[in-house]
Structure 1
Amino acid sequence: MADDQSVEGLDFGDAGDPVRIRRWEESDIPALVAVQRECYPGMAEETYMDERKLRMQLAAFPEGQFLAEIDGRIVGYASSLIVILDDESPWHSYDEITGVGTFGTHDPAGDTLYGADIAVVPDWRGKGLAARLYKRRKALLTRFNLRRMVAGGRLPGYSEHAKRLKPIQYVEAVKQGQLRDQALSAHLKAGYTVRGIHYGYLRDGESMNYATFLEMPNPEFDPARRLIAGAPIRRPVRKIRVCACQYQLRPLTDWAQFEMQVEFFADAAKEFHCHFLLLPELFTVQLFTLLPSDIDTHEAVREIAKMHDQYVELCKRMAVKHGLYFIAGSHPVIDEEGDLLNVAHLFTPSGDVYTQPKLHMTPSERNYYDMQPGDVLRVFDTPLGRIGILVCYDIEFPELSRLLMKQGVEVLFVPFATTERKGYHRVRHCAQARAIENVIYVVLAGCVGNLPQVNSFLITYGQAAVCTPCDFSFPKDGVLAEGEPNNESVCIAELDLNDLAIQRDIGTVRPLQDRRDDLYQVSSTMRIETIQVR
Structure 2
Amino acid sequence: METISKIELRNLQIEDYLELRASMIEAYSGIEDAPWKEHEIKKLLSIFPQGQLVVLADEKVVGCALSLIIDDKDIDDNHTYEEITGNYTFSTHNPSGDIMYGIDVFIHPKYRGLRLGRRLYDKRKELAEQLNIKAIMFAGRIPNYSKYAEEISPKQYIEKVRMKELFDPVLAFQLSNDFHVKKIMKNYLEGDTHSLDYAVLMEWNNIYYDKSPKLINSEKSIVRLGLIQWQMRPLKNLDALFEQAEFFIDAVSGYGSDFALFPELFTAPLMADYNHLNEADAIRELAKYTEPIYQKFQEFAISYNINIITGSMPNIIDGNLYNCGFLCKRDGSSEMYTKIHITPNEVAHWGMKGGDVIKTFDTDCGKIGIIICYDVEFPELSRLMADEGMQILFVPFLTDTQNGYTRVKSCAQARAIENECYVAIAGCVGNLPRVNNMDIQYAQAAVLTPSDFAFPNNGIKAEATPNTEMTLLVDVNIDLLKELHEHGSVRILKDRRTDLYEIKKK
- Please say whether Structure 1 and Structure 2 have the same fold, judged by a TM-score greater than 0.5: yes
Q: Aligned in 2, Cα 1:423/1:61: closer, same or farther, shift over 3 Å?
A: farther
Alpha-carbon distance in 1 for matches of 2:349, 2:123: 45
Relative distance call for 1:481 and 1:298 in structure 2 (3 A) is same
- Say yes or no: does 1:266 pair with 2:266: no
Rounded to whole Å, the distance in 1 between the matches of 2:329 and 2:314 is: 20
Report deviation, 1:513. Answer: 1.3
TM-aligned CA distance change 1:454 to 1:236, over 3 Å: same
Q: Is the 8 A contact 1:141 1:148 kept in 2?
A: no
What does residue 417 of structure 2 align with? 436
Task: Report the Cα offset of residue 488 of structure 1.
Answer: 0.4
Give 2:336's aligned residue: 355
Matches within 5 A, 1:391-410: 391-410=372-391
- What is the TM-score normalised by the length of structure 1? 0.61
Q: Give the counterpart of 2:225 among 242, 247, 252.
A: 242
Corresponding residue number in structure 2 for 1:305? 287
Residue pairs, 1:91-130, within 5 angstroms: none
* Aligned-residue identity in percent: 35
CA distance in 2, matches of 1:277, 1:4: 44
What are the equivalent positions in structure 2 for 1:445-460 lying under 5 Å apart? 445-460=426-441
CA distance in 1: counterparts of 2:476 and 2:253, whole angstroms: 17
**Which residue of the partner structure matches residue 192 of structure 1?**
none
In the alignment, what sits opposite 1:505?
Answer: 486
Q: Using the TM superposition, give the Cα deviation of residue 270 of structure 1 relative to its aligned residue in structure 2, in angstroms.
A: 1.2
1:294 maps to 2:276: yes
| 1:275 and 2:258 aligned | yes
Aligned to 2:135: 66
- Report the TM-score when normalising by structure 2: 0.64
Per-residue deviation at 1:456?
A: 1.1
Paired AA for residue 275 in structure 2: S
Taking a change above 3 Å as real, the CA distance of residues 507 and 3 of structure 1, as seen in their structure-2 partners, is farther
Q: 1:140 to 1:323 in 2, by over 3 A?
A: closer
Q: Measure, in 2, the Cα distance between the counterparts of 1:511 and 1:61.
A: 38
Does the Cα contact within 8 Å between 2:314 and 2:321 map onto a contact in 1?
A: yes
Contact (CA 8 Å) 1:235, 1:498: kept in 2 or not? Answer: no
In 1, distance between residues paired with 2:324 and 2:502? 28
Q: Which residue of 2 aligns with 1:35?
A: 104
Partner of 2:202: none
- Displacement of 1:6: 7.5
Equivalent pair of 1:237/1:496 in contact (CA under 8 Å): no
Q: Give the conservation status (yes or no) of the 8 Å contact 1:4–1:22.
A: no
Quote the residue 1:321 is aligned against: 303
- Residue in 1 that maps onto 2:457: 476
1:51 equivalent to 2:121? Answer no
Provide the C-alpha distance between the structure 2 equivalents of 1:364 and 1:446, rounded to a whole number of angstroms: 18
Q: Which runs of 5+ in 1 are unaligned?
A: 74-120, 122-135, 150-233, 526-534
Once residues 74 and 230 of structure 2 are traced to their aligned partners in structure 1, the CA distance between those partners, rounded to angstroms, is 44
**Contact preservation (8 Å) 2:275, 2:282:** no
SS at match of 1:490: strand
**Superposition deviation, residue 352 in structure 1:** 2.0
Look up the SS of the partner of 2:403 in the other structure. Answer: helix
The 3 A distance-change label for structure 1 pair 65 and 452 is: farther
Distance 1:4 1:358 in 2: 60
Counterparts of 1:56 and 1:457 in 2: how far apart (Å)? 44
CA contact (8 A) 2:367 2:390 kept: yes
Per the TM alignment, residue 487 of structure 1 is displaced from its structure 2 partner at its CA by 0.5
Q: How does 1:123-138 map to 2 (within 5 A)?
A: none
Return the offset for 1:54: 2.9
Q: Which amino acid aligns with 1:277?
A: A
- Cα shift readout 1:268-317 (whole Å, capped 9, x = no counterpart): 1111110110000011111112x143111110100011112211122111
Query: What are the superposed Cα offsets for residues 162-193 of structure 1, whole Å, 9 maximum, x if unpaired?
Result: xxxxxxxxxxxxxxxxxxxxxxxxxxxxxxxx
2:72–2:99 contact (8 Å) kept in structure 1: no
In the TM superposition, what whole-angstrom CA distance separates every residue of 1:214-262 from its partner, at most 9, and x where no partner exists?
A: xxxxxxxxxxxxxxxxxxxx99552211101100000112222111111
Deviates most, 431-440 or 309-318: 309-318
Shift of 1:2: 4.2
Please tell me the root mean square deviation across aligned C-alpha atoms, in Å: 3.8
Deviations 1:488-527 (A, max 9, x none): 00111111111100011111111111111122211221xx
Q: Distance in 2 between matches of 1:342 and 1:505?
A: 37
Question: Number of paired residues?
Answer: 363
Residue 381 of structure 1 aligns with which residue?
Answer: 362
Instruction: Write the mapping of 1:134-145 to structure 2, written as runs, cut at 5 A.
Output: 143=211, 145=212
Cα distance in 2 for residues equivalent to 1:463 and 1:53: 36
What is the alpha-carbon distance in structure 1 between the residues aligned to residue 223 and residue 482 of structure 2?
15
1:485, distance to aligned residue in structure 2 (A): 0.6
* Matched residue type, 1:348: K
Residue type of the alignment partner of 1:387: I
Q: Is the 8 A contact 2:393 2:424 kept in 1?
A: yes
Aligned to 1:228: none
1:67: how far off? 3.5
Distance 1:53 1:247, change over 3 A: farther
The aligned residue for residue 465 of structure 1 is 446
After superposition, the Cα gap between the structure-2 partners of 1:492 and 1:358, relative to the gap in structure 1 and judged at 3 Å, is same
* Deviation by residue 1:320-346 (Cα, 9 ceiling, x = unmatched): 11011100110111112x110001211
1:330 to 2:343 alignment: no
The corresponding residue for 1:162 is none
CA contact (8 A) 1:462 1:486 kept: yes
User: Cα–Cα, structure 1 residues 332 and 4, in superposed 2: closer, same or farther, change >3 Å?
Assistant: farther
Q: Aligned to 2:104, what secondary structure does the other structure show?
A: helix
**Whole-Å Cα distance in 1 between the matches of residues 489 and 450 of structure 2?**
11
User: Retained in 2: the 8 A contact 1:245–1:489?
Assistant: yes
Residue 366 of structure 1, CA deviation: 0.5
Letter in 1 for 2:300: M
Cα distance in 1 between the residues matched to 2:83 and 2:231: 61
Deviations 1:61-101 (A, max 9, x none): 8884634446979xxxxxxxxxxxxxxxxxxxxxxxxxxxx
**Corresponding letter in the other structure for 1:331:** M
2:278 aligned partner, one-letter code: D
User: Contact 1:56–1:273 at 8 Å: present in 2 too?
Assistant: no
Q: Quote the Cα distance in structure 2 between the aligned partners of 1:324 and 1:254.
A: 25
Q: Which residue of structure 1 aligns with residue 345 of structure 2?
A: 364
The answer to whether 1:427 aligns with 2:497 is no
- Match of 2:9? none
Tell whether the 8 Å contact from 2:444 to 2:466 is kept in structure 1 after alignment: yes
Q: In structure 2, what is the Cα distance between the partners aligned to 1:248 and 1:427? A: 19
SS across alignment from 2:267: helix
SS at match of 2:332: coil
CA change 1:516–1:314 in 2 (3 A) is same
